[in-house]
C-alpha cells in the first residue's frame, strides 16, 4: 500500500508542546508527522491552509457515547463522527452506559467498537460496580483490558471510604480517579443554579456549595492517600481556589471545565424560556462563576476544556424542565464557542487553548497525541478562525441535538480533522 503524503501549506502552526506558533508548512507521511518547515512536497496531496490554524489533534477527556444500551441517543460510531466534525482526534467515553463499563468484558466491547470508529476512543471504567457507590470494580483487570481511568461520573462517590480505597488502588496502575463532585444532599432535587433566577422562575436550585463542599472532601482524601484525582466539569467560582490551594500543598489534582460553563450563565434558562436543553449537571451558574472559570483557565489552574458531550433523544428532553434529563451535546460546538467567546474576545490565547484541548489531556491520561513533533502520530486539526457558521441540528453528526446553542452564529470552525495521517473530516 502506498503511504499517504500530505502537505498542509501556509497555516499558523500552534504547538505549545514544542513552543511553536508560526506560519509554516506541515508534512505528513503515512501515519506520522514528517516535519515542520523545510522544502519538499513533490507528490504530496497539498492542502492550502492559508489563514487557518493547525494544532495537534484535539482531545476530549469527557464524553458520553451511550453505547451499550442507549443507541437511540448515540453510538460509538456516531459519537466519533461528531468528534471528528468538531476537530477531536481522540475522545474518552464515560462508563454510565447500560450495562455500565464496570468490568473487563464491557471495556473490550467498547474497544472493539472503537476500532471501527472515526477517531480514537478510550473508555473510562466505573469506580464502583454498577455505579452504585458500594463496591470497587476489579481495577487491575479493567486496566489490563485498556481503560484509561476510573469514574462514576453522573454521580459523586458518596462514601469517603470508597473514594479513599479507589485513590489508593489506582496508584498501582498510574491512572487518575475522575470525580463528579456533588453533595447529593445539598443538590437534592434541584434542576438549575440556585440564585435569583431560579427563584424568579420557580425552579428548585442546585447551590454552588453542592460542588465545592464535595470538592473540598475529595481533595482532602486525595491528599491523605497521595492518589491522583481528576475533577470533572468545574462550575463554581470557589472550585479553582480550592484546587489551587490543594496543589500548593502538593495534592496531585487536575481538572476540567466545559465550553458551556465558560460561555453561559443561568440567564440562559430564562432567555430560552425553560428550554430543557439548558438543563445540565452541574448547572451553568452566575456571571461571577463564569468569569472565575475563564480566569482559572488562563492562569493554568484549570488544565482541560472537556465537552461533557451528553446526548439525549427528543422524547426524553421534550419534557417539562423538572423531568427532563441533565445534559447537552458538545462535541460539534466546542471549537466554535471557544473561538467566538474566548479567542476572538482576547480572553484566551491560541497557545492556552491548545494546551487545554490537546497537550494537557494527553499528558494527564497518558494518551498518544498532544504534539506535532516529527515522528509522532499525525493527529492534526485544522481550524478556520474566521469561518462564520450557524449551529443547526440538521448538520450535527451526533444522533442527538440537545444543544442550547442551536441557531447561534459562531465564528471559528474545524475545517479538517486528520487521524493518524488519514483525513476523517473535511469542510474546506
Ligand atoms: O449533565 C450531565 N449529563 N451531567 C452528568 O454528570 C451526566 C450527564 C449524562 O450522562 O447525561
Ligand atoms: Zn459527564
* pLDDT tens digits along 402-427: 999 999 999 999 999 999 999 999 99
Longest pairwise C-alpha distance within the chain = 66
With respect to residue 169, please indicate whether it lies within any of the assigned structural domains: yes
Let me know if residue 35 belongs to a domain: no
Pick from 298, 307, 299: which is nearest to 343 by CA? 298
Is residue 2 scored above 80 in pLDDT? no
Residue 23 falls inside a structural domain = no
Is the predicted pLDDT of residue 40 greater than 90, yes or no?
Answer: no
| Rounded-to-integer distance, Cα 372 and Cα 360, Å | 14
In this prediction, residue 404 carries a pLDDT of 98
Nearest ligand 1 atom to alpha carbon 233:
6
CA of 154 to the centre of ligand 1 (A): 5
Mean pLDDT of the chain: 97
Domain assignment of residue 284, yes or no: yes
What are the pLDDT digits (tens) for 213-262?
999 999 999 999 999 999 999 999 999 999 999 999 999 999 999 999 99
Ligand 1 centre to CA of 62 (Å) is 10
- Residue 397 lies inside a defined structural domain of this protein: no
CATH number of domain containing 320: 3.20.20.140
- The pLDDT assigned to 1 comes to 54
Is 216 part of a structural domain of the chain?
Answer: yes
Best CA proximity match to 417, nearest among 122, 139, 118: 118
Q: Tens digits of per-residue pLDDT, 269-291?
A: 999 999 999 999 999 999 999 99
Q: Is the pLDDT of residue 64 over 70?
A: yes
Q: Cβ(131) to ligand 1 under 6 A?
A: no
- CA of residue 401 to ligand 1 center, whole Å: 15
Q: Ligand 1 pocket: which of 62, 64, 94 to mutate (most atoms <8 Å of CB)?
A: 64
281 lines ligand 1 (CB under 6 A): yes
Is the Cβ atom of 389 under 6 angstroms away from ligand 1? no
Q: Whose CA is nearest to atom 1 of ligand 1?
A: 327
Percent of the chain beyond pLDDT 70?
100
Q: Assess if residue 310 is contained within a domain.
A: yes
Q: What is the pLDDT of residues 331-368, one digit of tens each?
A: 999 999 999 999 999 999 999 999 999 999 999 999 99
- Nearest residue by C-alpha to atom 7 in ligand 1: 154
Q: Is residue 41 part of a domain?
A: no
Number of domains in the chain: 1
User: Is the model more confident about 15 or about 38?
Assistant: 15
| Residue/partner pairs of 185-189 with CB below 8 Å, 24 or more apart | 186/210, 186/213
Atom of ligand 1 nearest to the CA of 328: 1
Domain hosting 177: range is: 57-364
- The residue written with cell numbers 472515526 in the block is 118
pLDDT (tens digit per residue) in 156-207: 999 999 999 999 999 999 999 999 999 999 999 999 999 999 999 999 999 9
Q: What letter would DSSP give residue 426?
A: E
* Residue 146 vs residues 47, 62, 210, 266, 380: alpha-carbon distances, Å: 35, 17, 33, 38, 24
Amino acid at each position: 500500500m502506498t503511504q499517504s503524503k500530505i502537505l498542509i501549506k501556509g497555516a499558523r502552526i500552534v504547538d505549545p508542546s514544542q513552543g511553536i506558533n508560526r506560519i509554516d508548512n506541515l508534512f505528513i507521511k503515512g501515519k506520522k508527522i514528517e516535519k515542520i518547515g523545510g522544502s519538499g512536497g513533490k507528490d504530496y496531496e497539498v492542502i492550502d491552509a492559508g489563514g487557518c490554524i493547525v494544532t495537534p489533534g484535539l482531545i476530549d477527556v469527557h464524553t458520553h457515547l451511550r453505547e451499550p444500551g442507549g443507541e437511540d441517543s448515540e453510538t460509538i460510531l456516531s459519537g466519533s463522527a461528531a468528534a471528528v466534525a468538531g476537530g477531536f482526534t481522540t475522545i474518552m467515553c464515560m462508563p454510565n452506559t447500560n450495562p455500565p463499563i464496570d468490568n473487563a468484558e464491557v471495556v473490550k466491547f467498547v474497544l472493539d467498537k472503537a476500532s471501527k470508529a472515526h477517531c480514537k476512543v478510550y473508555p473510562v471504567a466505573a469506580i464502583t460496580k454498577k455505579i452504585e457507590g458500594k463496591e470497587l470494580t476489579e481495577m487491575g483487570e479493567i486496566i489490563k483490558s485498556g481503560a484509561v481511568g476510573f469514574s462514576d461520573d453522573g454521580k459523586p462517590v458518596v462514601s469517603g471510604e470508597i473514594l479513599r480505597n479507589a485513590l489508593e488502588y489506582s496508584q498501582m496502575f498510574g491512572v487518575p480517579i475522575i470525580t463528579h463532585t456533588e453533595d447529593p444532599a445539598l443538590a437534592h432535587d434541584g434542576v438549575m443554579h440556585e440564585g435569583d433566577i431560579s427563584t424568579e422562575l420557580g425552579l428548585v436550585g442546585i447551590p454552588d456549595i453542592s460542588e465545592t463542599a464535595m470538592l473540598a472532601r475529595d481533595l482532602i482524601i486525595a491528599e491523605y492517600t497521595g492518589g491522583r484525582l481528576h475533577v470533572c466539569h468545574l462550575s463554581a467560582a470557589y472550585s479553582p481556589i480550592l484546587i489551587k490551594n490543594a496543589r500548593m500543598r502538593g495534592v496531585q489534582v487536575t481538572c476540567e471545565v466545559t465550553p458551556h460553563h465558560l460561555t453561559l450563565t443561568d440567564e440562559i434558562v430564562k432567555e430560552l424560556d425553560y428550554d430543557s436543553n439548558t438543563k445540565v449537571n452541574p448547572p451553568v451558574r452566575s456571571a461571577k462563576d463564569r468569569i472565575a472559570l475563564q480566569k482559572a483557565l488562563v492562569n493554568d489552574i484549570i488544565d482541560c476544556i472537556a465537552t461533557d458531550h451528553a446526548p439525549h433523544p427528543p422524547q426524553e428532553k421534550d419534557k417539562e424542565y423538572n423531568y427532563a434529563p441533565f445534559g447537552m451535546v458538545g462535541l460539534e460546538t466546542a471549537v466554535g464557542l471557544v473561538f467566538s467567546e474566548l479567542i476572538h474576545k482576547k480572553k484566551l490565547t491560541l497557545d492556552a487553548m491548545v494546551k487545554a484541548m490537546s497537550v494537557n489531556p494527553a499528558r494527564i491520561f497518558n494518551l498518544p497525541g498532544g504534539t506535532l513533533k516529527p515522528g509522532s502520530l499525525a493527529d492534526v486539526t485544522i481550524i478556520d478562525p474566521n469561518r462564520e457558521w450557524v449551529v443547526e441540528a440538521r448538520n450535527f453528526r451526533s444522533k442527538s441535538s440537545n444543544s442550547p446553542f442551536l441557531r447561534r452564529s459562531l465564528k471559528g470552525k474545524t475545517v479538517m480533522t486528520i487521524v493518524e495521517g488519514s483525513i476523517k473530516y473535511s469542510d474546506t
